[in-house]
């Protein structure tokens, strides 16, 4: 069994990274070579800026290449709850931001002709309890009335025709969603950024930076360079001079397994529509088929950080959940098991803007595939003076009380969520 991400293990090699010395001066230094940083680099380079991407490891080596590969409309919070807490106008704007983000990904794939197995299959949220189905019905009605007419509530019988499991009581279908091979997409995006003029340095962690008359001086493992602007695209990074951001982001482990290649006849019985799927529990699961017909099955599994032992233990939890959902897979071999960190904010909404003159975009809270790509383009516009392009500009970002970077409270939070799943 491989302990590497399936996406990273089966992606083509990125061969366009810089190998020489850092440039002395650039217009923009982007810290982080994930989807946010690469998307921003491509867009800024297309505007004529001299851009450098500084990545501590390999491009898309962290959250961008270690996720479930879902790319669909839908805020991390329940839409009805979001509308009740923030008002219909802001909830609608945030929903539309995610809707636009999916189209940003599709347009980029088409413009750059990235070979990443893009499929338009939509997302189905599965009701794990009858009460959850009633909640989905209310949410569906509200979404159709306020923001998106192209959603549909499926009955238990209709859902069983889509997902051959006795676990579910119906589902909410959102058609604005795509799938792709995240590894191929990420490498293709990095190559597109280089072709547009960006410089990408791998294995070049940034230790700190200082403001000066010309902008900022950044210190890296390969020396220092001067930049007029900085964009932090680091997600839940646990290294470098990031204390202010760590107090506002909780790094939560998310874990994934991928089966051996499944027979086509079994796939046609289990998941004939080949959508992206997510269950309605707080500690739920998400799953989809890969382009080569593996079932990729993930979730929080354990409220713990990712690491070799933690990933293995979480993989066992996920395999048990998969078999409970699909007894037909009881004897199927698991070929991949890996983990990664999700950059969670307290309200599960992204944050983008400036702190101390330095730009940032992060906190995607498990919905980063589409939003990271979208916000990379958005932040390029913001850094070019178009502040109104940022959909999250009105959100405050206070520190999380008692949180200083190490999420000591995760086991307590996990226990609380398990209790809520049991009670509700």
User: In the beta sheet, which residues pair with residue 212?
Assistant: 215
Token code pair at residue 389:
């392009």
pLDDT given for residue 372 in this prediction? 97
- CA–CA gap between residue 248 and residue 93 (Å, rounded): 23
Which ranges in 196-325 belong to alpha helices (H)?
Answer: 243-246, 264-270, 308-325
- CA–CA gap between residue 402 and residue 417 (Å, rounded): 19
Token code pair at residue 202:
């791998």
Domain count, the chain: 1
Q: Please report how many Cα atoms fall inside a 13 Å half-sphere around the Cα of residue 25, on the Cβ side.
A: 3
pLDDT given for residue 220 in this prediction? 97
Q: Does a structural domain hold residue 419?
A: no
Residue 370: is its pLDDT beyond 80? yes
Q: Is the Cβ–Cβ distance between 123 and 275 less than 8 Å?
A: yes
Q: Does a structural domain hold residue 423?
A: no
- CA–CA gap between residue 306 and residue 312 (Å, rounded): 10
- CA–CA gap between residue 174 and residue 274 (Å, rounded): 14
CATH number of the domain bearing residue 335: 3.50.50.60
Q: Does a structural domain hold residue 420?
A: no
Q: Does a structural domain hold residue 381?
A: yes
Instruction: Please give the average per-residue pLDDT across 55-64, as a whole number.
Output: 97
- CA–CA gap between residue 259 and residue 82 (Å, rounded): 35
Instruction: Please give the average per-residue pLDDT across 138-147, as a whole number.
Output: 94
Higher-scoring residue by pLDDT: 252, 293: 293
> Helices 130-146 and 88-112: crossing angle, nearest 10°?
80
Instruction: Please give the average per-residue pLDDT across 359-370, as a whole number.
Output: 94
Q: Does a structural domain hold residue 421?
A: no
Residue 11: is its pLDDT beyond 90? yes
Instruction: Please give the average per-residue pLDDT across 18-45, as a whole number.
Output: 97
pLDDT, averaged across the chain: 93
pLDDT given for residue 301 in this prediction? 62
Structure confidence by residue, pLDDT tens digits, 179-201: 999 999 999 999 999 999 999 99
306 pLDDT band, cuts 50/70/90, is confident
417 pLDDT band, cuts 50/70/90, is low
Structure confidence by residue, pLDDT tens digits, 225-250: 999 999 999 988 877 778 899 999 98
415 pLDDT band, cuts 50/70/90, is confident
Token code pair at residue 226:
């001067």
pLDDT given for residue 76 in this prediction? 58
Structure confidence by residue, pLDDT tens digits, 82-108: 999 999 999 999 999 999 999 999 999
Q: Is the Cβ–Cβ distance between 288 and 398 less than 8 Å?
A: no
Residue that is written with structure tokens 């019988």 in the block = 157
Sequence-ordered list of residues with C-beta below 8 angstroms from that of 283, at least 6 positions apart, any chain: 299, 300, 414, 417, 418, 421
The conformational region for residue 274 under phi > 0 = left, psi -120 to 50 = alpha, else beta, is left
Q: Does a structural domain hold residue 424?
A: no
Token code pair at residue 335:
């070929």
- Residue 180 host element (H or E): none
Q: Does a structural domain hold residue 73?
A: yes
Range of the domain at 15: 6-413
pLDDT given for residue 329 in this prediction? 98
80 pLDDT band, cuts 50/70/90, is confident
């Amino acid at each position: 069994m491989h302990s590497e991400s399936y996406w990273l293990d089966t992606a083509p090699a990125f061969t366009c990274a810089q190998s020489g010395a850092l440039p002395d001066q650039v217009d923009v230094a982007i810290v982080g070579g994930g989807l946010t940083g690469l998307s921003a680099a491509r867009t800024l380079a297309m505007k004529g800026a001299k851009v450098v991407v500084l990545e501590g490891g390999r491009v898309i080596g962290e959250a961008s290449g270690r996720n479930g590969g879902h790319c669909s409309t839908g805020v991390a919070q329940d839409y009805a709850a979001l509308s009740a807490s923030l008002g219909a106008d802001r909830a609608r704007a945030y929903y539309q931001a995610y809707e636009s983000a999916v189209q940003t990904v599709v347009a980029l794939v088409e413009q750059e002709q990235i070979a990443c197995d893009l499929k338009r299959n939509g997302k189905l949220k599965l009701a794990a309890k009858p009460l959850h189905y009633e909640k989905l019905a209310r949410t569906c009605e509200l979404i159709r009335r306020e923001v998106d007419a192209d959603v549909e509530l499926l009955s238990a019988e209709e859902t069983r025709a889509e997902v051959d499991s006795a676990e579910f009581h119906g589902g909410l279908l959102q058609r604005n969603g795509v799938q792709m091979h995240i590894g191929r997409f990420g490498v293709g995006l990095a190559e597109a950024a280089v072709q547009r003029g960006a410089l990408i340095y791998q294995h070049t962690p940034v230790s700190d930076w200082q403001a000066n008359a010309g902008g900022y001086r950044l210190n890296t493992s390969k020396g220092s360079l001067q930049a007029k602007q900085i964009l932090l695209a680091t997600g839940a990074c646990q290294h470098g001079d990031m204390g202010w951001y760590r107090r506002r982001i909780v790094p939560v482990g998310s874990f994934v397994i991928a089966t051996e290649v499944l027979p086509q006849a079994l796939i046609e019985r289990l998941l004939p529509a080949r959508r992206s799927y997510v269950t309605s529990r707080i500690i739920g699961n998400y799953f989809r088929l890969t382009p080569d017909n593996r079932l990729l099955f993930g979730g929080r599994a354990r409220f713990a950080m990712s690491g070799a032992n933690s990933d293995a233990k979480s993989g066992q939890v996920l395999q048990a959940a998969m078999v409970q959902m699909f007894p037909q897979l009881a004897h199927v071999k698991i070929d991949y098991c890996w983990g990664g960190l999700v950059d969670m904010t307290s309200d599960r909404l992204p944050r983008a803007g400036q702190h101390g003159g330095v730009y940032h975009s992060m906190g995607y809270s498990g919905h980063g595939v589409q939003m990271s790509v979208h916000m990379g383009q958005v932040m390029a516009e913001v850094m070019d003076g178009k502040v109104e392009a940022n959909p999250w500009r009105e959100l405050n970002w206070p520190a999380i009380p008692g949180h200083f970077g190490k999420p000591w409270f995760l086991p307590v939070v996990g226990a609380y969520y398990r209790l809520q799943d049991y009670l509700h």
